Amino acid sequence: MQMLSRAWRHTLVRHATLAVLGLLVAVVVLMSVDDFRNRQLTELAYMALAAGGLTLLTGINGQISLGHGAFMAIGAYTTALLLQDPETALPLPLVLLASLLVALVVGVLVGVAAARLHGPYLAGATLTLAIAVPGIARYFSTTLGGEQGLRVTSPEPPAWFLDALFFLTGTEPSNSQYYAILGWTLLVVVFFLLANLIRGRVGRRWAAVRDDEVAAELAGINLARARVSAFTVSAAVAGLAGALMAIQIRLAAPTAFELTLSLTLLTAIVLGGLGTLSGAIIGSVVLVYTARIATDVGTAQGLDSIAAAELAPLVYGTVMILVILLAPAGLVGSLLRWRAARAARGADRRTTPPAARPTDPHHPDGPADQQRRPVATTKGDQP
Amino acid sequence: MPASDQVAHATPDPTSATPSATATPALELRDVTVRFGGVTALSAAGLRVAEHTVHGVIGPNGAGKTTLFNVACGFLRPDEGQVVRRGETLARLRPHRLASYGMSRTLQGLGLFDRLSVLDNVMVGADRHGRSGFLGTMLALPGATRDEDRLRERAMEALERLRIAEHARRYPPSLPYALRKRVALARALVAEPTLLLLDEPASGLSSEEMDELAALIGGLSGEMAVMLVEHHMDLVMKVCDRITVLDFGKVIADGSPAEVQQDPAVVAAYLGDDVADLDADTGPATDPATPTEA
């Protein structure tokens, strides 16, 4: 038991166990629900993936990006171009890798510029990106399909995959299940890698740069390098998410990557709590499902489809306002904060006996307490 | 004690640590001049911080202490003059390179990372001893994990040395100021610098805490050279082997605490018009006008 708890403290053991368990649960769930649910869960996977990348950038490294949808677009269009002709199409893993790499390269370029910008200026620059990229897709209508976008010939599941799942579950997975399992596998693997980064030296540097630039620099951290690397990783993950999105919706079109997508991602990480990967998942769940549920409820209440669809932004907004009012650190962030505060109270109780606390100079209440003491007592203390 | 101990890496006797004029100093400022617009903050100021000594920089408010400090650590480029570290001129020193020169500094505003635990704060300070790279960290390779364990061990040692190990898992904003200050000091020490620059380390501390700090700084000279800018006279007199006194951007005195205390220029600069000011600051024990242990 003790050995288990010691092993658990090791980052790799902890993250790998969570990843394997997560993957098992995901496969079981995905294999037991219908195609409709699988498509929803795929959407959840790519949204959570992109939100995880953004969490690292905004939550851990403190750089805001209003343009992460643009990196998703870059990944989606790369995938669409590579899968256009079924005859010459590359194998899927290579397509995904290529989408990731293209987004990564663009991420380096944008990151180098972003490293020099702060706060509202960075927000402005990334906003431009969110607006420009769909515009570029519209402009180059011959190669990128213009307003209609590019059709994506989504690949069929490979034979080994069908065999493996048939062996494991006794049923043949549908295409939707294939994409869903692909999406969740990518989500788990990428989050495993991101969690390692965040918990390790790299993430500590990112967070140090976020909290205090001068002090981070004094510790020997190259600010520009830390910022650019965070931006790059984040963009690459978004590119991968975009590739998955293109495969799922079988289309890469400008309308799918408008500013709303970027803002949705940002909303997701704020809802979940900045700076935690679990927050990114929970935020994405809230976003993907509140919209669906609101629309369903609206339709059930006899609203026509347009009015029902308009309920979603209303519920979105309400949830957002409630979270900011009631849990400003986000859903997961507030939970962690509550736990830290409880641990701190516990530590205080252990280090300072209750009787010693009022006069303890280390205790924040100490001096105030002394001031409240009557003057006579203070004089009496003097010999 | 043989004189050669002053340059050797053995613990020198603080009383015999008067630096010889010929040894290469840990840090030397040569004729440094800094102007802000029309104001000359430092004019041809020079000082030598010898290895394994505690060197204090004092002076009345506005004397140029902070400017000198910022020049020493590369935050400010002087208009004239040079900063020389162990014989090497530091031109265009960028702050993140400071650590690689074996220099560490504390910030007056502490500059702790509020959303990192105390342990992580100190681990950032130890970062220059880390070897694991991006891929190793991402894949949690065994080498990176061991590297991480080593950094954590170093950080815990630094925390234990400053007796704040029990707060390792807490976050700086939840700690009282004096403890936060120790975290900042632990973060500077864990880098194992050979030159530590302390910016007003005693500000905001109670007198017992200041005694503790004095004992700590005194013990550091065995491992490194220390330069501190401070206006708490009793701390400076207690811990420094050598003191440079600034007034109006010029060095008006340089010597051992006893020499400086009796220097007429220093007495004039400090006592000038306002004797009460110094009394309030230092108490009668270290009043330069009345030699200590009289």
User: Residue B280 pLDDT more than 60?
Assistant: no
Kindly state the percentage of chain A with pLDDT values over 90: 37
B98 and B5 assigned to the same domain: yes
Average pLDDT, chain B: 80
Q: Check CB contact under 8 Å for B104 and A218.
A: yes
B96 and B206 assigned to the same domain: yes
A84–chain B nearest CA distance, Å: 33
Q: How confident is the model at residue A115 (pLDDT cuts 50, 70, 90)?
A: confident
- Dist. CA A198–CA A194, nearest whole Å: 6
User: Residue A376 pLDDT more than 70?
Assistant: no
The DSSP line for A219-261 is: TT--HHHHHHHHHHHHHHHHHHHHHHHHHHHTEE-GGGGSHHH
Average pLDDT, chain A: 83
Q: Where are the strands (E) in B117-169, listed by range?
A: none
Q: Looking at residue A32, what is its pLDDT?
A: 85
B222 and B244 assigned to the same domain: yes
B151 and B246 assigned to the same domain: no
Residue A364, chain B, CB below 8 Å: the answer is yes
- Dist. CA B233–CA A280, nearest whole Å: 53
Give the one of A211, A215, A223 whose C-beta lies nearest to B115's C-beta: A211
Q: Check CB contact under 8 Å for A362 and B107.
A: no
Q: Check CB contact under 8 Å for A340 and B171.
A: yes
CATH number for B138: 3.40.50.300
- Name the domain boundary from B192, B227, B249: B192
Lowest mean pLDDT among B22-36, B52-66, B280-294: B280-294
Give the one of A201, A275, A361 whose C-beta lies nearest to B127's C-beta: A201
Q: How confident is the model at residue B116 (pLDDT cuts 50, 70, 90)?
A: very high
Of A96, A58, A80, residue with least CA distance to A189: A96
Main-chain phi, psi angles of A4, to 5 degrees: -60, -45
B199 and B139 assigned to the same domain: no
Lowest mean pLDDT among A271-280, A334-343, B58-67, B76-85: A334-343
B39 and B122 assigned to the same domain: no
B97 and B218 assigned to the same domain: yes
Give the one of B104, B111, B166 whose C-beta lies nearest to A212's C-beta: B111
Residue B179, chain A, CB below 8 Å: the answer is yes
- The domain locations on chain A are 13-257, 259-348
B157 and B35 assigned to the same domain: no
- Which residues 61-120 on chain A approach chain B with CB closer than 8 angstroms? none
- Dist. CA B201–CA B56, nearest whole Å: 11
Distance from chain centroid for Cα A62: 14
User: Residue B180 pLDDT more than 60?
Assistant: yes
Give the one of A200, A217, A362 whose C-beta lies nearest to B96's C-beta: A217
Residue A227, chain B, CB below 8 Å: the answer is no
Instruction: Name chain A contacts of B151, Cβ cutoff 8 Å.
Output: 201
Q: Check CB contact under 8 Å for B100 and A218.
A: no
Q: How confident is the model at residue A238 (pLDDT cuts 50, 70, 90)?
A: very high
Q: Check CB contact under 8 Å for B137 and A223.
A: no
pLDDT (mean) for A270-285: 88
Q: Looking at residue A4, what is its pLDDT?
A: 66
User: Residue A351 pLDDT more than 70?
Assistant: no
Q: Looking at residue B283, what is its pLDDT?
A: 41
pLDDT (mean) for B217-221: 86
Q: How confident is the model at residue A382 (pLDDT cuts 50, 70, 90)?
A: very low
Instruction: Name chain A contacts of B112, Cβ cutoff 8 Å.
Output: 211-212, 215
Domain count, chain B: 2
Q: What is the pTM of this model?
A: 0.82
Q: What does each C-alpha distance from A263 to A106, A128, A185, A280 come to in angstroms?
A: 20, 13, 25, 14
B120 and B197 assigned to the same domain: no
B200 and B149 assigned to the same domain: no
Q: Check CB contact under 8 Å for B187 and A219.
A: yes
Domain that holds residue B71: 1-102+193-287
- Name the domain boundary from B192, B219, B242: B192
Q: Looking at residue A9, what is its pLDDT?
A: 67
Q: How confident is the model at residue A347 (pLDDT cuts 50, 70, 90)?
A: low
B117–chain A nearest CA distance, Å: 10
B140 and B185 assigned to the same domain: yes
Q: How confident is the model at residue A349 (pLDDT cuts 50, 70, 90)?
A: low
A41–chain B nearest CA distance, Å: 26
